[in-house]
Structure 1
């Protein structure tokens, strides 16, 4: 599924137009990125937790010259830990995802 398909699904599920759904999705992504950059975790209960971790510097091998050792610098990476509801759904323990979606109304 790509972004456009996801926007269509959100619009349908939340009973909003595609422009509103796109705005909601982009807002969610912006908030998650902003929080991760500040070093915070973002938890959506049952779904999972987005977090940023530092991958420490380490030695490696130059792929273009395998006899040459290189230093790979420290870098921040995004991680995602799945929540129990998502894990259970993927294992087939749930018939379908929870249906607690409230309809979106303008101004909320």
Structure 2
């Protein structure tokens, strides 16, 4: 499902117009992004949790040259499914 299909699904489920559904999705994405940038986590009970995790620096291998390279430490966004979502997907 891409973004357009998701907007259409939100509109169908909620009874909102496609324009309002697109605005709601954009607001959700913006709010989650802002919270993660500030170091907060976003927990939606039954759905899942968005959080920031730190990856430490490590040594990797360049597949074309087979030489060791240093991979910098960085922060990554992670999502952990909640119990209801995990059960629904089973």
Question: What TM-score do you get using the length of structure 1 for normalisation?
Answer: 0.80
Moved over 3 A (4+): none
Cα distance, 1:12 vs structure 2: 1.2
Cα distance, 1:17 vs structure 2: 0.7
The structure carrying a bigger helix percent of its residues is: 2
Residue in 2 aligned with 1:77? 76
Superposed counterparts of 1:34-73, under 5 Å: 34-66=34-66, 68-73=67-72
Runs of 5+ in structure 1 lacking a partner? Answer: 92-108
In 2, the alpha carbon distance for the partners of 1:64 and 1:37 equals 34
Higher CA-based Rg: 1
In 1, the alpha carbon distance for the partners of 2:62 and 2:30 equals 35
Residue in 2 aligned with 1:12? 12
Match of 2:76, SS state, is strand
Deviation by residue 1:2-55 (Cα, 9 ceiling, x = unmatched) = 100110111111111111000000000011111011111001100000011011
Deviation by residue 1:51-98 (Cα, 9 ceiling, x = unmatched) = 1101111011122210x211000111111111010111112xxxxxxx
Residue in 1 aligned with 2:88? 89
How many equivalent residue pairs? 90
